[in-house]
Every structure is written in C-alpha cells, then in structure tokens.
Amino acid sequence: MSMASRVFGRTGVPVSEIGFGAWAIGGTWGEVSEADAKAALHAALDAGVDFIDTADVYGDGRSERIIGEVIAARGGERPFVATKLGRRLDPHLAEGYTAQAMEGFVDRSLKNLGTDTLDLVQLHCPPTEVYYRPEVFGALDDLVSRGKIRRYGVSVEKVEEGLKAIEYDNVDSVQIIYNMFRQRPAELFLPEARRRHKAVIARVPLASGLLTGKMLPDTDFAPDDHRHFNRDGAAFDKGETFAGVPYDVALEAVEALRLLLPAEAVMAQVALRWILMQEAVTVVIPGAKTPEQANSNAAASGLPVLPEDLMAGVREIYETRIRPHVHHRW
C-alpha cells in the first residue's frame, strides 16, 4: 500500500498525509474494547500511517495510554504523536491557561504516552480570548526550551481563531475542521497558513461518519456516543458533531454526493482524497475503531487526483445544501 508524505510546516519533518485520529479509541464514540483499539492502531501503522493525533481528555487519558502501549510494543522508529491540553480545566476559562496548569497537563501526557518529550502539544479548542494572551504562548516556548515538548500548535473551532493563532511565529500547526461539509477554511485560512509555512491538521474529515455514506435516518447511536448527545452542543461545540450540519439535511446531501461517484467508489476514501486535493493541508486524521476502517482510510492516499467535474459537484452541493447551516458559524 502506497502512503504519501507531506512536510509538517516549517519543521521539515515528513508525516503521512493520512493520520490516525485517536478520539474514538478513547471514548464518546460508543464502546471500543482495548483489544479492538490496539488492533486498529496497529493496522494503521502497518499501512504506513506515522502521524497519530490524540488528547489528554479522550477517555480521560485512555487514548494516550493505548497509544503509548502500542508504540512500546512495536519498538523501532516512533511515529509522530500529537496530543492536546486544556480541556481538563474546570471551568474551562482563559484564566486557567497558566504556565503551571499547562505544565501539569504536559507531565500527565508524558506519563500516559511513555515518553520523555512530546512531539506536538496543541491547545485544545481554548476560549477565543486565549489567542490574545501572548503569555500563554510564552509558557509553551518555555516548555520547548526545557525539552518537555518539541513544538506546539493549536486546535481551533473557528477560522478566525486559526488566523489569529498563526500570527504567533512559534505556532507550528493548526488543527481545524475541514471536509466536504465545512469548506470555509479554504477561502482565507488555508492560503494564509501555507504562506506562513504552518502545518494544517484536518480533523472531523468524515463529518462524524456521515461521509462514509453508511448512516440512515434511523441509525442508532449509543448513549455515550457524542453523535447521540451532542447534536445541539450540549457537551461541547456542536460543530464537532456531524460538522454542525443538521442530521436530516446532511443525509440528503450525502445522497446527492453518492450520485457523483462511480458505483465502485468508497465514499469515505473519496471524502478523504477531496481534503488532500488542498495542498495547504498537511495531514488528515480520520478515526478508526477496527483494522478494516484503518486500512480503508490509509488506502485513500493512493487514490488518483479527483476529476474537475466531481470537485465542482461537491462545491455545488455545499453551496446549495450545507453552506447556510455552517458557513458563518465557524
């Protein structure tokens, strides 16, 4: 299986263009056994994936611990592991992003992942005010100078937050929702990130599974699955669930997308390849609960360039069906 790489911003480090999003193996995506989680991660790594994205709150550290155990068991060259901090704050306020608190979160992640230095730490969708506090980024600079983290970035909810974050010279990456149902980043943010040589991590690439084409109006989600309890933002920003698109509207758009694809096409792979058509994107991070899902995701790297008529069709579906629900929110 062929896996292409892209350079991670100004760092010069090559990473696989398909990564592994490790939220689902941590929690709030329904039950995933530890054995299945490890099998999915092993499959991704075997397929050439060498970029893993996680966070300290995914399963209250479960995701990080599973990743650390898998890496230790495999030995050899370590993949690039990105984690996040900040969402453990309660209440989650800008004032909580102190140097002491952030170092405590970093120390916990170091232990969970079984390493001496974190490859990348991202502020985990902090309050917008945090981006206007240079002292927060100064504290991260200090952690870099002391060797606890190699580099840092941010994970944002809004395009405007991403644009503000990349004004800081030492912010190496921005993680942002970008998919067929969330196209606004391509207008201004992605070109500016590329101009500034910032890495871009595209998250929620399949719109919480909608863009697999496998969901139905009566699809049942477990009570602990955020697709059951967060459609209106009850637990966190609703843009993280189904990309913020109303479920019935999204299902109709998926059927319109299906008509654009050859009969043998795997919709999820096309959705991932669509994101990779954007040169400013460094790595896309679909999740996987099984080895089969991990292998299918990785295979998207080998798809040919999408034809212009397909790209135009996706754009039209977004403009006519999706844009009114999401474009000016995020």
Instruction: Name residues whose C-beta falls within 8 Å of residue 119's C-beta, 6 or more positions apart in sequence.
Output: 80, 81, 82, 149, 150, 151
The Cα 104–Cα 29 span in angstroms is 27
Between helix 308-317 and helix 267-276 the angle, nearest 10°, is: 100
How far does CA 66 lie from the centroid of its chain? Answer: 18
The single-letter DSSP state of residue 78 is P
In this structure, what token pair is assigned to residue 97?
């992003």
In this structure, what token pair is assigned to residue 277?
């058509």
Look at the block and give the residue holding tokens 């319109």: 256
Burial 45-84 (b: 16+ CB within 10 A, else e): bebbbbbbbbbbbbbebbbbbbbbbbbeeeeeeebbbbbb
Nearest residue to 126 (alpha-carbon basis) of 146, 103, 154? 154
Instruction: Name residues whose C-beta falls within 8 Å of residue 110's C-beta, 6 or more positions apart in sequence.
Output: 116, 117, 118, 148
In this structure, what token pair is assigned to residue 176?
């942002």
Parallel, antiparallel or unpaired: strands 152-155 and 51-53: unpaired
Instruction: Name residues whose C-beta falls within 8 Å of residue 68's C-beta, 6 or more positions apart in sequence.
Output: 112, 113, 114, 115
Q: State the Cα torsion 232-236-242-245 to the nearest 10°.
A: 50
Active site residues: 58
The Cα 189–Cα 211 span in angstroms is 23
The Cα 178–Cα 206 span in angstroms is 9
